[in-house]
Amino acid sequence: MKKIYEKFCKIEVGFCCVGFILLVVLVFGSAILRFMRVSMAWNIDLAMLLLAWTAFLGADVAWRSGQLIGIDLVTRYFPKKVQKLVLIAVYAIIFGMCIVTCLYGCRLVWVERVRTYQSMPIPYSLVSLSLVVATFSMAISTIGKIKLCIQHFNKDEVESESKPESENEA
């Protein structure tokens, strides 16, 4: 199961990289074509689709690697075990929000299945599906963070969200 998750993580990072490059190319190409008075509306619609997928999946990549901002102004003065309990509680809240967002995102995907892009015959629900996939993936990543925090509960170090996982394990 761990190998499948690692493979999924690599695919997710690869998709984010390719999506970002395609996003830049589409928007830049659209600007150049607009300058030459050639209108290609599908460029912007496709760029919007790529932006949603790249942003949401990129948020999961950042969450998993510990690159999102964290504020420990108050908790840094707590004892280490209390810090870990607070961290587990925060992870549990994040996990709950991911599940709620995923469930309501599924409803949104279902509602928007009939709506299509103006310039492309694909359903607009593909944009909403990016939210569902990303929050589901974030929920899985959060379970991993909770598991890691519980496994290292009796150690003196506190897992920091501002450090990448490679620094946390060192």
Domain that holds residue 164: 2-169
- Beta-strand ranges (E) seen in 47-114 are none
Quote the pTM value.
0.79
Tens digits of per-residue pLDDT, 7-65?
Answer: 988 999 999 999 999 999 998 988 888 888 887 778 888 888 899 999 999 999 999 88
Closest CA to 142 of 159, 126, 130: 159
Question: Which pLDDT value is given to residue 38?
Answer: 83
Q: Report whether pLDDT(168) > 50.
A: no
Specify whether the CB–CB gap between 62 and 68 falls below 8 A.
yes
**Structural tokens at position 33:** 């074509």
- Over range 128-137, report the average pLDDT: 94
Tens digits of per-residue pLDDT, 64-113?
Answer: 888 877 777 888 888 888 889 999 999 999 999 999 999 999 999 999 88
Query: For the chain, what is the domain count?
Result: 1
Mean pLDDT of the chain: 86
- Residues 164, 66: Cα–Cα separation, whole Å: 5
- Residues 45, 100: Cα–Cα separation, whole Å: 28
